[in-house]
Structures are given as C-alpha cells and as structure tokens.
Amino acid sequence: MLQVGVLSSLAAALIFGVYLFVYKRSFDSLPSTVYVASVEVAGFCWYAVIAALTWPGGEPLVPTDFGTRTALLLVGVCAAIAAANLVSIRAFKLGDVSYVAPLNKLVPAFVLPIEIVVLAAQPTPIQVVGLALAVVAIYVANYEGGALLVPFRRAASYRPAQLALAGAVLFAISDVGTRGLLSRTGLTPQAVALATFAAVALVALPLAARRVVWANLRPAVPGIVALAALFAVGVHLTMTAFAVAPASVVSPIVNTQAVVAVLLGGVLLREKGLPRRLAAAVLAVSGVALIAVG
C-alpha cells in the first residue's frame, strides 16, 4: 500500500506542476476570478464522475452523525480553500510561475506554527531545521544582490510574493481543518473534495460575474475544461495517497510540484533566474520534507 501512496503522490506532483505551467502559459490573460470560477465549476463536474466511480461501498453522502460542529468546520475549511485558491491564482497571474511556486508550496511550514498555537504541538529539532530551510527558500527566491535584508524586504513588499505566501498560509489553515474533518467525522475524502470544489466555485462566481468578458472566455472554455479534468485527477490522486500512506511520505512528494513548475516555467517559458529559483524550490521542498518527517 505504501508503494501505491508513493506512486500516487509522484503522479499528483507531476500533474499539479503541469497544471500551474499550463495555466500560466495559456490562461493568465483571463481575470483570476473568472479563471478560478470556470475551472472549479468544470472541476466539480469532473470530480463528481470520479467520486461516483470510487465512492466507498455503503458510505452515505452525509454521515448520520453530521451535526452543527461538523457543518461549521466544513464551512470554515471550504472558505479557507476558496480564499487560498483565489489568492494563489492571482499570485501566479502577477508573477513568474518559477518565482511564485516555491513560495506558494511552503504550506507545511505554516501548518507547523498553526499546530503549535492551536493544538499545542511540540516541534521536534528536525522540524525546526525544516522551518529554517523554508525561511532560507524565501530568501533565495527573492535574492537579487544588495544588502543582507533586501530579499526579505522584497518578499514583504512584492505583490506576487505577498499573495503566494498568503495563499500558503490559507492552504495551511485549510489543511489543519481538513485533517480534523477526515479524522473526527464520518465524511469521506470524496465528500470533502466535492464540497471544496463547490465552495470555491460559489465564492468565485459572484466575483467573476463582474469581470467576465464572454468574447474572451468563450474560446478558452474547451482548454479550461480539459485542464480542470487534469486538476480533478490530481486532487483524487492526492486523496488516494493520503488514504494509504503516511502524511510524512505523501506531503513532501506532492510538494515537489514546485520543482516541476519551476523547471517548466524556466525552460519552456524562459523565465529569468532559473538556477536561483530552482535552488529556492529545492530548499522549500527539503524544508517541507523535514517538517513532515519530524
């Protein structure tokens, strides 16, 4: 089963890396809210098919013990994921994919402080080292010469960096909530995934309605529908990996999507600073791995 989890994680990392690259190459001319609304609606439809084919036998859509606390937790997780997706896609729209990806995939580096504050978790020395590597990754991604603290000032003031890191924080909040949903309620992973697809679409649609230009969106619809299918498969592979392998194995592998995105952006889109950004991606993934293992 561990081998299945590793292979699913590797496939998901490749899919998500390609997904980010294709978005940047083909769809970042669309307003980010319009793109998110479109891809999430299509993704919900694709994932409904996947969920129907993979739903655990005998499991209800809504568990019998579904109550107010579960509902509030589900709403909170869905709201965090919706905000994270909107903020992150905006970051990729404004910045190079090879710059934004390493910062946006530092999710476990923010999960750890949240768990320390909310769950009173005690970090291990290895996790502290991992967190330090994540900070170094931010530094390297923003390093362009100058004084020692200039990269941190750039990360704090550069809009794509702000949004990428904000997206990572929001994804971290949603990850902690998702763990609670899957471990403390009777909801299946498929039900949680369907709820998040629907929530992101419902949040994005009113925002997109103000900015949509149908003449620009209509030609992009077939490509968005195809890309949404790829995204839905990636989500399902990630769910499958977490179901059969420890998070300490799955998380660092899935987050290697940052390296895939950096390579594709640097080589095929000819984005500048490939060696430095690749180093930042490797540091970010290494830090994530140490945090997960610790």
Instruction: Indicate the angle between helix axes 274-293 and 107-118, nearest 10 degrees.
Output: 30
Write down the pLDDT at residue 33.
94
Determine contact, residues 131/287, Cβ cutoff 8 Å: yes
Determine contact, residues 100/91, Cβ cutoff 8 Å: yes
Write down the pLDDT at residue 2.
65
Q: 249 is written with which tokens? A: 């194995």
Instruction: Indicate the angle between helix axes 247-254 and 214-244, nearest 10 degrees.
Output: 150
- Distance, CA of 70 to CA of 64 (rounded, Å): 11
Continuous segment of H or E residues that includes residue 72:
helix 68-94
Q: 183 is written with which tokens? A: 């471990």
Write down the pLDDT at residue 294.
67
For residue 237, give the amino acid letter: L
- Distance, CA of 211 to CA of 114 (rounded, Å): 35
Write down the pLDDT at residue 130.
84
- Distance, CA of 85 to CA of 232 (rounded, Å): 14
126-130, long-range: CB within 8 Å, 24+ apart, which pairs?
126/290, 126/291, 126/293, 126/294, 127/290, 127/291, 127/294, 129/290, 130/286, 130/287, 130/288, 130/289, 130/290, 130/291, 130/292, 130/293, 130/294
Other beta carbons within 10 angstroms of residue 7's beta carbon come to: 15
Low-confidence ranges of the chain (pLDDT < 50): none
- Tally the domains of the chain: 1
Determine contact, residues 255/292, Cβ cutoff 8 Å: no
- Distance, CA of 262 to CA of 92 (rounded, Å): 12
Determine contact, residues 142/155, Cβ cutoff 8 Å: yes
pLDDT in tens, 106-118: 887 787 777 777 7
The residue whose two tokens read 């990360």 is 155
Geometric angle at alpha carbon 223, from 217 and 225, rounded to 5°: 90
- Distance, CA of 133 to CA of 293 (rounded, Å): 14
Determine contact, residues 22/35, Cβ cutoff 8 Å: no
- Distance, CA of 253 to CA of 20 (rounded, Å): 16
Residues 6+ apart with CB under 8 A from 68: none
In terms of residue numbers, what domain contains 82? 2-293
